[in-house]
Structure 1
């Protein structure tokens, strides 16, 4: 009887606490209807109490975010001009002092309790959510998958050559959370019904594990995009392209765009770095591009050639190859995509050769 009585008392207390929490949530935390004003021109009505990021998504305004709103990626920055409250401790690791002075905030950490005014890039309004079908998921190296995704008939995506999307990894065996991860588009923007991605495997990576071991052809996937200010610039400068691994994707998108639009008068040189011969891919397409773009040259290099001596191309890191082939940076423009370490070393090298910093475009990935 004592056990039964104790259980009854505990259950009763738990029920009362749950009831009180419900009342508190509906009264103390009831902020009512709020208005979100974006760029002083667009207004959205929402129910207060949720994160700014969540309310924006509800209104189909897709701010980049890779961590699902947990405050651990730092991608979802917006400028809050009014109504955001003080900077939170959870934001300080991602918002610099300069950004804080300019009212930059992590939208996933800002709780909307009243009307709020924010500023975002106008390009964000072109970002949409899409549902794709998997046409191909093929291994092209021991660690890289080539993914082709197709939209339903009549649906299209508009993007610039070099931009990226975010792919949703759903819950699956071994993963209890949904996360978005950013991947550059390898396809030409002229191809509006399909997109291509190059996704390298990262040990314990939630999205790469999903793509490499759980995603099958004919499956459906959610994509949000396009994003990014790394894309083809229309001018007459000579183009220096540098990439390693899956960093080839946006470079390939730009080159395909140039081929399809018959941009044949620009001189282009592409340095691609890999560890060994197995990590080289799409060689045949680059050979075709050299035929169709008469001023284009493809120079792959590997850092660890096999001892059989069959490799007769460049050996070393991409910086070694660049040093060999680029004398000066006069009237040149660079497009770089790869790891932060590679990007930083190439940027330093190109600046030494005279390239102006504003002419060096890059996209870093971890």
Structure 2
């Protein structure tokens, strides 16, 4: 066997990686872009900043936090801004997240735009209300084998104002081979009335930088940074029947929404069906709280379904994929006469499948609201 066939590609790969790293370092050192100006919303704000970094990071350093569920990795498509300057053609990494109109209007992913010259951008006014908070981890609790409930107390004098259903970004420090501070987005599970605290449900994702830190290193009493609030996932003020679907840590926004409804005495105002999908019984949580809600509020209906129930689960509830259960209830149990709205939170695959089921049963795209995990 000629080992050269195997060694040569590895050598080329190693050389390529080294060259890429060298180019990146050289660009930062040699190409000193100096100070550049960011004109935000036609003069609403003008920022004098150092060039060279990407637009997302630079705006954050200036106190303007553009949504980025993936932490700037270019994998969520949420950090869109309209650019009124020539910053070059759209990159291949941007195209999948932009439609034709957005491309034509020079909407860009801010994490993919490098600041080299003065630039003008347009962003929604609400982004100016997003803030960075500091606080202390007051409580960490295991709610399943792979989901932790993390409860932060904000530092004195800080209060957070958000709508039930929105999300925040947790920042963790460098550790092990992670050299930079890293942010990831998580839905807030606390109620908006608790303005001095923020709670998140964090599911362990193998290899995830922030989830690994939260599960393996984060301690009660530790200082943390949270940026909030982000997102358009909140309940619309109508009397339509709410069809809610979640799985795993997608429980978070619904916990916030339902307790917010209870506080405001809104549970009596509309029918709510909450479908929660899990593999086995060990993946279910908050069952007592949700069953209590169902017993105390006649218009609230909770349906848990296991796709792979185990004999030891002794499960007597719904079984099968959550799409199957959802479809059956939409056909047989839920009123066909009343208007319906869909609210979904979870993995892209599950959400896409459930939204297809909703459309099959007459629910329109403009009445389906969702929060897909990046």
TM-score interval w.r.t. the shorter chain? 0.7 to 0.9
Matching residue of 1:193? 196
Query: Structure 2 matches for 1:78-117, cutoff 5 A?
Result: 78-88=81-91, 91-92=94-95, 94-95=97-98, 97-117=100-120
Aligned pairs, number: 342
Query: Structure 2 matches for 1:135-154, cutoff 5 A?
Result: 135-154=138-157
* 1:323 matched to 2:331: no
**Shift, 1:70, TM fit:** 5.6
SS at match of 2:215: helix
Matching residue of 1:45? 47
**Shift, 1:64, TM fit:** 2.4
User: What do the CA deviations read for 1:151-202 (whole angstroms, capped 9, x no partner)?
Assistant: 0233111111111111112111242232211100111111111111111111
**Shift, 1:329, TM fit:** 7.4
Matching residue of 1:77? 80
Between the aligned partners of 2:119 and 2:232, the Cα distance in structure 1 is 26
Between the aligned partners of 1:247 and 1:341, the Cα distance in structure 2 is 13
Matching residue of 2:361? 353
- Match of residue 299, structure 1, among 288, 296, 303: 303
TM-score normalised by L of structure 1: 0.86
Between the aligned partners of 2:272 and 2:77, the Cα distance in structure 1 is 34
Is the Cα contact below 8 Å between 1:36 and 1:118 reproduced in 2?
yes
* 1:228 matched to 2:231: yes
Query: Structure 2 matches for 1:1-366, cutoff 5 A?
Result: 29-32=32-35, 34-50=36-52, 51-65=54-68, 69=72, 71=74, 74-88=77-91, 91-92=94-95, 94-95=97-98, 97-263=100-266, 264-308=268-312, 310-327=314-331, 328=336, 330-366=338-374
**Shift, 1:30, TM fit:** 4.7
Matching residue of 2:16? none
Is the Cα contact below 8 Å between 2:38 and 2:49 reproduced in 1?
no
Q: Cα distance 1:339–1:73, how it changes in 2: closer, same or farther (>3 A)?
A: closer
TM-score normalised by L of structure 2: 0.84
Identify which range, 63-72 or 327-336, moves more after superposition: 63-72
Gapped runs of 5+ residues in structure 1?
A: 1-20
Gapped runs of 5+ residues in structure 2?
A: 1-25
Please identify the structure whose Cα radius of gyration is greater. 1
